[in-house]
Amino acid sequence: MRLLTFKHGIHPDYHKWFTREKGIRKTDLPQMVVIPLKQHLGAICNPIVNKGDEVKVGQKLGDNDAFVSCPVHSSISGIVKSIGPYQHPGGDMVDSITIESDGKDEPFRAHRPPQDISTLQPDEIRNIIRETGIVGLGGAAFPTHVKLNPPKEKQINTVIINGAECEPYLTADHRLMLERSEDIIYGIKAVMKLLGVRKSYIGIEANKKDAIAVILKGLEKEKDADISVVSMKVKYPEGAEKMLIYAILKREVPAGGLPMDVGVVVQNVGTTIAIADAIQRSKPLIERVVTVTGLGVKRPGNLLVKIGTLFSDVIKECGGLKDGARKVLMGGPMMGIAQYSLQVPVVKGTSGIVVLVDDELKLEKTVPCIGCGNCVKACPMFLLPTRLASYTDHDMLDKADEYGILDCIECGSCVYVCPSKLHLVQLIRLGKAKILDKKRGKGVKK
Amino acid sequence: MENIFILGLASMGGLGFLLASCLALASKKLRVEEDPRIAMIREVLPSANCGACGMPGCFNFAEGVVGNEVSISGCPVGGANTAQEIARIMCVEIEGFQRKVAKVLCQGGLKETERKAVYYGIVDCRSASMISGGEKVCEWGCIGYSNCIKACKFDAIYMNRNGLPVVDEDNCTGCGRCVEACPRNLIEMHPPEVMVHVYCKNHAPGKIARKICKKACIACKLCVKPCPDNIHIEDNLAVIDYSNGFIGDRICTEKCPTDSIVYN
């Protein structure tokens, strides 16, 4: 099979051996969960339970009527202890619901009965996806029902399932493909029926040959659906939406555009499993697979974690931190967010918890740009990272906008190759924040 | 030979004369009348082109004054003297000019506040605050990466050893660029005569506030009792109302257990 890929990109050390052979294991029931009312991109939910209420597993805790929003559900049964601001792993304080477990893990009764896609209408499937609170589980956490509701003028003709998992260390999607291939195929069929699409691809990086074999075997039974598995070159960021579309279909998403502009919808493998769970088992999104890994963890593994479990509990489950553990990241080392406390909850977008040790952290001094152009060669979006960063540094925001700063996907490839160790992505993020403030009509803070 | 020399001299001289008379004619006919007052006002302006008046530069401000678009006392940098001079040029009387200086309303330096993490990245307050709210535990206080100092064109702010920006009130021209630069909105402009300020923006309840910073306002209301007309508590923070000309009194600050309200 010819390996598909995109132009530019980098080859970091993958470090996947920590957890790639470790099967998904369930964690113990946590004593307490903290469920942020905002675990997705879009409007924050309004709580619909009160302090002191008794809640069951899968009961809806908050919802919002805004189009880009989706509800959150309780992942354990117990009593609502408090509702108020709590540290979110994304970095802000977000209103959250703290639930203390009663240890019974009782399911919520008012669920609809399990259904099957053969009897469901497209709108019904979309409604189920919204009501079960499914978001993109790759990390960005964009509400899935919004993604699956493209405007009429955008004709969708292909669905791409993202099994690339190009981020170093993480193996959650890999394990899911090995262990739950049937649900993945079921979820793909649901998405295809919803969108009325005939063709779909599952893109998997070539370092996961076992996963490719398992999915191909699963597809043998599905003669009527046109689903093909494509093997892709091992390169970062192969799993970024726009890179994936280019690699598989050779279609380029226009600047400032979305995949739907080229007739494509991309879903993560984890999301398809959540969709299958929602339809077949009427289970809302209350747990997800998290890769807990890195040299700083005693027993790395892939864990099925209830949403809202604190990082400290998850790490305790993995034998705790080793001496010398220094930096905890939510997500992978390339795009993950550093945490200063372990008292933050796992949210829908937590694909991994990576703990790095002292020796791995190379906090090198930054020196001025030497103009080598490595970042330009690495940038998968064909931008000029050093130029964008220096425009931001000199407060030339119009120029930065003109040079496409808003198209940056913040993958970190430029920083990885920079010999001067410049904080390019940080500067670009600052520039993006300032430009977006300006566009929304707020005063620009320097 | 001599002929060519004279011919060249005559033709070039003639051409020069012709073009010069064209220019002379053009300068008379196509002359743009500029108000002489614009040039005079420009002379008295500080020429820093800082933009504090809201115009792009000093020339535009001068134009605006002559065109009656901006106030005569609109240049905060030049202060009262410049306003007086401009008023003389424009032949009008001015109302009282209020000089204002910047006040950094946070005392949570390195000694007073706890740190929750080590920040490693670009030296920029907003960037630091975008990652989990910066290094310090207090989410309202000074981040300490000197955006205000970079914004100041008059060297009126410097960083002290405690990691807090200090305003040099003699140099401060009141242009307000630092106010815009602070992502936490900690800098405010006040007349130098006003003596009492609450140097805290912490909205956490007293118990938590005391834990995260030694000099935080804990909303104990001990300052409200002596000065009930001018100080009130709003969202766990003492707020001073300056609207009725209150410039402060030592009594208001004496009881403060954390020294967050200061007379100076």
Kindly report the number of other CB atoms within 10 A of residue B20's CB atom: 10
Option in A340, A363, A434 nearest B116 (CB): A340
Secondary structure (3-state) at B103: strand
Q: Is the pTM of this model over 0.80?
A: yes
Task: Kindly state whether B51 is in contact with chain A, defined as any CB-CB distance less than 8 angstroms.
Answer: no
* Inter-residue contact A408 to A428 (CB < 8 Å): yes
Tokens for B162, please give them.
């405690």
Tokens for A405, please give them.
């700063």
Confidence of residue B94 (pLDDT cuts 50, 70, 90): low
Higher pLDDT, B92 or A446: B92
Q: Could you give the C-alpha distances from B184 to A279, A416, B80, B125, B199, in angstroms and in order?
A: 46, 31, 30, 9, 13
DSSP H or E stretch at residue A435? helix A424-439
Option in B132, B151, B180 nearest A91 (CB): B132
CB-based contact B127 A427, cutoff 8 Å: yes
- Does residue B10 carry a pLDDT above 50? yes
Return mean pLDDT, chain B.
87
- The mean pLDDT value for B233-241 works out to 89
Kindly compute the dihedral angle of the four CA atoms of residues A354, A355, A358, A364, in this order, to the nearest 10 degrees.
30
Q: Could you give the C-alpha distances from A170 to A319, A340, A350, A351, in angstroms and in order?
A: 18, 21, 11, 7
Q: What is the pLDDT of residue A111?
A: 60
DSSP A190: H
Strand partners, A79: A54, A100
Secondary structure (3-state) at B86: helix
Q: Which of residues 204-233 of B touch A (CB under 8 A)?
A: none
Cα A147 to Cα A282: distance, rounded to the nearest angstrom: 21
Q: Could you give the C-alpha distances from A94 to A37, A80, B27, B171, in angstroms and in order?
A: 7, 17, 68, 41
Confidence of residue B56 (pLDDT cuts 50, 70, 90): confident
Task: Kindly state whether B30 is in contact with chain A, defined as any CB-CB distance less than 8 angstroms.
Answer: no
In order of their start, the domains of chain A are: 122-281 (3.40.50.11540), 374-439 (no CATH)
ipTM, two decimals, is: 0.82
* Inter-residue contact A307 to A135 (CB < 8 Å): no
DSSP H or E stretch at residue A392? helix A385-393
Confidence of residue B52 (pLDDT cuts 50, 70, 90): confident
Q: What is the pLDDT of residue A446?
A: 45
- Residue from A369, A388, A425, A446 to probe the interface with B (highest B Cβ count within 10 Å): A446
Residues of A with CB under 8 A from a CB of B: 87, 91-93, 337-341, 363, 423, 426-427, 429-430, 433-434, 443-446
Q: What is the pLDDT of residue B100?
A: 85
Considering only CB atoms, which chain B residues are within 8 Å of A91?
Answer: 130-133
Residue type, B235: D
The series of mean pLDDT values per 10 residues for chain A, 446 residues long, is: 85 91 91 93 91 91 90 93 90 90 82 78 90 89 91 91 93 94 93 91 93 92 87 92 93 91 94 92 91 93 94 93 91 90 93 91 87 94 94 92 94 94 93 90 55
Task: Kindly state whether B151 is in contact with chain A, defined as any CB-CB distance less than 8 angstroms.
Answer: yes
Which bin fits A13, alpha (ψ -120 to 50), beta or left (φ > 0)? Answer: beta
Place of tokens 């969960």: A33
Q: What is the CA radius of gyration of chain A?
A: 21
* Inter-residue contact B248 to B234 (CB < 8 Å): no
pLDDT digits (tens, 9 = 90+) for B178-190: 998 899 999 999 8
